[in-house]
A and B are shown apart, each in its own frame.
Chain A
């Protein structure tokens, strides 16, 4: 079995700061491997340990931090890694990323399983896995909370708004996992040292036969400003007043008498 894990360098949005004009200071925000991507790496490594799968990881980007997250994946147990060099990957159209990945699959595959995080923390589109599946014309199971491999089938549990879905499918398959899927391991010294010595291969989009990428035509990004009334009462000063005000709101909204 051969598995490809896709990981993305994402902004730690909890530490995002803004210009006074509201523009996010993305260049100084700390970046890391996406949380659900880390779960995808963990899932791949577990399949390696259980079934002897060969594991490959890939990311798209052009900074030294991309290499860092590949090594982080090595330290968790991945066997081989690629960086596809593209400037500003965050403003690529998702469909362009889909094309790059499907070419990568052709060049380095075939893979039985392509696994990635369900949604990245920054754009959280939840669409990349499905775009890849459609490009490769293989099925997808998206938003997986628990993944098993039973009798030649991948069996995935997905908890959704209306209930619990269990999907079963054979390879080849695309799976996107949520952060519920597992608890990613913390690398040991031994695996970190191993990761330092492993080669990180780089590819350009031309190596992959992709001649053009389409960028999103981004006009503006600003902090989301909420226009709400923001009327506050301090209950630690006057509990009775605060509770009465609460009830007034319930009454004026028509949900209490």
Chain B
């Protein structure tokens, strides 16, 4: 094929599109190839994006990006069989805008793709890349069916399903113990019911994290007319319900079902999540004339409740863009890793590196909700002999137990989610 590009990006997810955005702004001729029929059609995503990264790079995004609701209420709930213990934080009014918002990733990515195309890159959908063309270890483009497309640089942004990387033995197949499944359902409830039941006004939104021995960690995000509920499903937790029933289990919980029980499920999706976090990071996410970005390189933050990826993906796209720019000017490809190391992303992944281990010890799901519910149940049960907080805790845990420590530990878990 006669057409030649400076950079081919495989995958129009957040990382791929961000890489394209930063590169095209630097004057590179860029093409993004996406196997889905639209950008974002293969993504499953909880529904919250942090504003800071958009503020930094996408001028005017607040008025044009497809925001559903601005998150003003943050809630953490521990679900027992019937009871719930919740901790809620309501953010005061912000003048410069809120720190995060809910959105449908598919719509958000369509908007990002539009911005990328406005800058002059091409985003081609329904294109399945079969392989990266290597010449003596040097990437020189991709093959799509019968067609070959050449470029100076190839960026692999294929997401968690690392088919290309595995095909070229650049990355091992992930071990089942490092896989979790993100399962999400979108429920139509209507604006009025959402605002009434979740206590929201106008464009305000709620982000809720859930912990339960039944399904592990989960989330609820409010959209304008829809509620997005999901679970980060860990197949290894014992006695857990099956993946296909897990959302049903969540929906039927008394505290959830009264909120969304009469809603209409309109979309169900499930997706693999690489959960190993920092451990899963590719040690060498680059090679001769190619880079790996986003999820594919392990650059996403699975916090246990939800997958924080979009802001990190955009940031990693920016770094990949900068790396390619500098490599093209003669710097060594290892500059990419250097840039990553110096960046916030790696710092954050490092900070959360213990999370997968903490999560896989399951105490957080199995023990904490029960303890919390028992403590509060004891405290609030009124009978002839009133009980003190200390007694209540002792009765619930059978031991010395620090309520403060307990709460702090939980908050640590959900911090930065």
Q: How far is the CB of B30 from chain A (nearest CB, A)?
A: 13
Interface segment among A105-113, A159-167, A182-190, A225-233: the answer is A182-190
Question: A189, B264: Cβ atoms under 8 Å?
Answer: no
User: Closest residue of chain A to B31, judged by CB?
Assistant: A193
Q: How far is the CB of A16 from chain B (nearest CB, A)?
A: 10
In whole angstroms, how far apart are the Cα atoms of A8 and B266 in the complex? 24
In whole angstroms, how far apart are the Cα atoms of A86 and B38 in the complex? 24
Q: Is the interface of A mostly helix, strand, loop or mixed?
A: helix
Question: B144, A25: Cβ atoms under 8 Å?
Answer: no
Question: B188, A193: Cβ atoms under 8 Å?
Answer: no
Question: B264, A193: Cβ atoms under 8 Å?
Answer: no
Q: How far is the CB of B80 from chain A (nearest CB, A)?
A: 30
User: Closest residue of chain B to A29, judged by CB?
Assistant: B266
Question: A18, B264: Cβ atoms under 8 Å?
Answer: yes
User: Closest residue of chain B to A18, judged by CB?
Assistant: B264
Q: How far is the CB of B302 from chain A (nearest CB, A)?
A: 28
Across-interface contacts of B361 in A (CB, < 8 A): none
User: Closest residue of chain A to B263, judged by CB?
Assistant: A20
Across-interface contacts of A151 in B (CB, < 8 A): none
Q: Is B262 an interface residue (CB 8 A)?
A: yes
Question: B264, A188: Cβ atoms under 8 Å?
Answer: no
Q: Is the interface of B mostly helix, strand, loop or mixed?
A: strand
Q: How large is the interface on B (under 10, 10 to 19, 20 to 34, 35 or more residues)?
A: 20 to 34
Q: How far is the CB of B44 from chain A (nearest CB, A)?
A: 16
Q: How far is the CB of A198 from chain B (nearest CB, A)?
A: 12
Known: A18-B264, A20-B262, A25-B264. A196 touches B126 (CB 8 A): no
Chain A residues with a Cβ closer than 8 Å to the other chain, count: 16
Question: B262, A196: Cβ atoms under 8 Å?
Answer: no
Question: B266, A192: Cβ atoms under 8 Å?
Answer: no
The one of B122, B144, B145, B264 in contact with A196, judged by C-beta atoms closer than 8 angstroms, is B122
Across-interface contacts of B144 in A (CB, < 8 A): 188-189
User: Closest residue of chain A to B125, judged by CB?
Assistant: A192
Question: A188, B147: Cβ atoms under 8 Å?
Answer: yes
Among residues 8 to 45 in chain B, which have CB atoms less than 8 Å away from a CB atom of chain A?
Answer: 31, 33, 38
Q: How far is the CB of A85 from chain B (nearest CB, A)?
A: 19
Across-interface contacts of A28 in B (CB, < 8 A): 188, 266-267
In whole angstroms, how far apart are the Cα atoms of A114 and B357 in the complex? 64
In whole angstroms, how far apart are the Cα atoms of A20 and B1 in the complex? 53
Q: Is B149 an interface residue (CB 8 A)?
A: yes
The one of B3, B265, B266, B267 in contact with A193, judged by C-beta atoms closer than 8 angstroms, is B3
Q: Is A135 an interface residue (CB 8 A)?
A: no
Question: B124, A189: Cβ atoms under 8 Å?
Answer: yes
Question: A189, B262: Cβ atoms under 8 Å?
Answer: no
Across-interface contacts of B124 in A (CB, < 8 A): 189, 192-193, 196
- Name 19 interchain pairs, CB-CB below 8 A, sorted by A: A17-B188, A17-B264, A19-B188, A20-B264, A25-B264, A28-B188, A187-B126, A188-B146, A188-B147, A189-B1, A189-B33, A189-B144, A189-B147, A190-B1, A190-B147, A192-B125, A193-B31, A196-B122, A196-B124
Task: List residues of B whose CB falls within 8 A of some A CB.
Answer: 1, 3, 31, 33, 38, 122, 124-127, 144-147, 149, 188, 262, 264-267
10 extra interface residue pairs, beta carbon distance < 8 Å, beyond A28-B188, A193-B124, A197-B122: A17-B264, A18-B264, A25-B266, A68-B38, A75-B126, A189-B1, A189-B127, A189-B145, A189-B147, A196-B122
